[in-house]
Structure 1
Amino acid sequence: MAQGLIEVERKFIPGPGIEERLQELGGILEHRITFRDTYYDTPELSLMRSNHWLRQREGSGWELKCPGASGISGPHTEYKEFTSEPAVVAQLCEVLGAKGLGDGSMAAVLGPLGLQEVASFVTKRSSWKLVFPGVNEEEPMLKVDLDTADFGYAVGEVEALVQKEAEVPTALKKINSLSSMLGVPAQERAPGKLIVYLQHFRPQDYRRLLEVNSSTED
């Protein structure tokens, strides 16, 4: 993924028959995979408390999600994603107010930035892609991920990736339309896997996030 793409997404609780419904809507199963995500933050949760989310995905590398800027309210989230290691390091140094570390690798900056593991879990995922009839081929297709974490939580996500903030409203309209066709209640706000993990296994950290009304990212 090119660095700096904007991810617009909406999480939902999958109901029975969700994969059959995706097939009815023309969804194509891309793959089924299993992977481990490990999340990092400072002891004070400086990243999560400012709506930044750092993870290392098994087989994929590092990813940092930073809050988007569209200002559109609703049961969705918008993030700018960074996946190249130099970009992740640079963004982390900016967010955490560290100077002189911008040219280092992630392995080199974890200690100096005070970053430590806060969660690690395995997810089984089925990934689907959908294209609405009549959509311009240049427009981003929608992606639906259906996840089940190894601690028992299942969550779905409808996602579109765009390059400019001006494209967010159109992407969001498509996401909400597909969510409706999947039977997702209009204002449903499903928490991400990481939030549920913290709630179950690190309740003190979970309460700290609630204090700042943090986003429900995974």
Structure 2
Amino acid sequence: MSVEVERKFVCESDVQDKLKTIGAVCIGQYEFKDRYYDSPAYTLTMKDFWLRKREGSWELKCPAVSRTKVEKTEALCTNYREVTDLPQIQAEVKEVLETFTRATEDSSDSSEQERTDGYGEDERWLKDLKLVCFAEYTTLRCSYVLEDDGGVGRVRVDLDQADFGYCVGEIEVLVSEGDDMQSTQQRIQKTAEKLGLGDKKKIQGKMDVYLQRYCPDHYGKLIKAHIL
């Protein structure tokens, strides 16, 4: 199973020129819509599980390592295990929900339950588990790939413009679960240095900004729990 190791950065106006200068190759530009789901009590996201449907394809991002094990030098990156097989996604989601207090799970009001109406045929399991869409936005993405100096693989760089007015870049490497994360993060760091990134603090992702603007209660709970 793959693990996504990623570092976000602020998109400066000359970032595309910098990418071309260091030998990155543009592999295309495309647009997609994301819909994220959780229980009304935020059961999944409060455990750092992110259930998403992107243009008809499902994905569940799960914590890949304990946050207590992340060193300060690694704090700029995030590590998530990616699950794309729908039956496995459903099994993992059910497991997280079942460990949560039933009384809390049943505390949602009728207006939240009504939001499950209109789901498609492949989304009925969401209604059965009382999962609702808490975030929906469209992203215009321009993607680049860069060969590692050591010839160990490719580093991907995505430049994202969300429809709610936020732009962010992502340096990403996909590795197999159990691979050496330290060397992977070093590959990302080298790419960041080539791009002249001097960020010393973690940059907000699209979801952070979306929740902060449109779902402040949800955002506040995630901040308090040190998820975001």
Inter-partner Cα distance in structure 1 for 2:38 and 2:153: 32
Q: Which residue of 2 aligns with 1:172?
A: 185
The 5 A counterparts of 1:117-156 are: 117-135=133-151, 139-156=152-169
Which digits, 9 at most, give the CA deviation of each residue in 1:90-149, with x for residues without a partner?
111122127xxxxxx9623212222100010110000111002341xxx33110000000
Structure richer in helix, relative to its length: 2
Secondary structure of 1:166's match? coil
Inter-partner Cα distance in structure 1 for 2:91 and 2:5: 23
Inter-partner Cα distance in structure 1 for 2:180 and 2:122: 31
Secondary structure of 2:13's match? coil
C-alpha spacing 1:106/1:191, structure 2 compared with 1 (3 Å): farther
Inter-partner Cα distance in structure 1 for 2:176 and 2:26: 24
Count of aligned pairs between the two proteins: 202
Q: Which residue of 2 aligns with 1:101?
A: none
Q: Are positions 1:202 and 2:218 aligned together?
A: no
Q: Which residue of 2 aligns with 1:96?
A: 97
Which digits, 9 at most, give the CA deviation of each residue in 1:67-89, with x for residues without a partner?
01273331110000001111211
Secondary structure of 1:196's match? helix
Inter-partner Cα distance in structure 1 for 2:96 and 2:122: 15
Unaligned runs of 5+ in 2: 100-120
- The one-letter code of the counterpart of 1:6 is V
Q: Which residue of 1 aligns with 2:109?
A: none
Secondary structure of 1:110's match? helix
Q: Is the 8 A contact 1:141 1:160 kept in 2?
A: yes
Inter-partner Cα distance in structure 2 for 1:143 and 1:128: 6
Q: Is the 8 A contact 2:27 2:145 kept in 1?
A: yes
The TM-score with structure 1 as length reference comes to 0.87
Q: Are positions 1:36 and 2:37 aligned together?
A: no
Which digits, 9 at most, give the CA deviation of each residue in 1:165-218, with x for residues without a partner?
232111110101111221222423111111111111111111111111113xxx
Inter-partner Cα distance in structure 1 for 2:177 and 2:140: 31
Secondary structure of 1:36's match? strand
Q: Which residue of 1 aligns with 2:58?
A: 62
Identity %: 36
CA RMSD between the two structures? 1.7
Inter-partner Cα distance in structure 2 for 1:134 and 1:118: 42
Secondary structure of 1:119's match? strand
Q: Are positions 1:81 and 2:77 aligned together?
A: no
- The one-letter code of the counterpart of 1:85 is L
Unaligned runs of 5+ in 1: 99-104
Extract structure 1 runs of 4+ deviating beyond 4 A: none
Given candidates 199, 202, 211, the residue that maps to 2:224 is 211
Larger radius of gyration: 2
